[in-house]
Amino acid sequence: MHTIQEEGKAQYFWVWGGLLLLTAIEVVLAYEQVFPPIHMLEILMILSVIKSALIIGWFMHLKHEIVAMKWTMMISVIICLCLMCVFFADAFRITHLGVR
């Protein structure tokens, strides 16, 4: 029988602190604009995926779910990211339209 170990509040505060840190990094990157927009989008998307994994794993308790549930979630996330990549190409056409 699989038993779940009880976690203390400290672990949740560490995850919350990590989320705050990642959010602060995103805000600083957005305001400083040290990277070109395409690279900025890539960096912000990677940070968002990391944040969502932390939220899903700890605050939605997916890390304690059965393997089938984890695979369902991961496949859904991969499909969503693929769809976003398909539609990003359409969003980049605005750079060629001369719209400011």
Can you give the residue ranges of every domain in the chain? 8-63, 65-100
pLDDT at 26: 92
CB count within 10 Å of CB 73 equals 16
Per-10-residue mean pLDDT for the chain, 100 residues long? 65 92 93 85 88 84 79 86 81 67
pLDDT at 7: 67
pLDDT at 89: 75
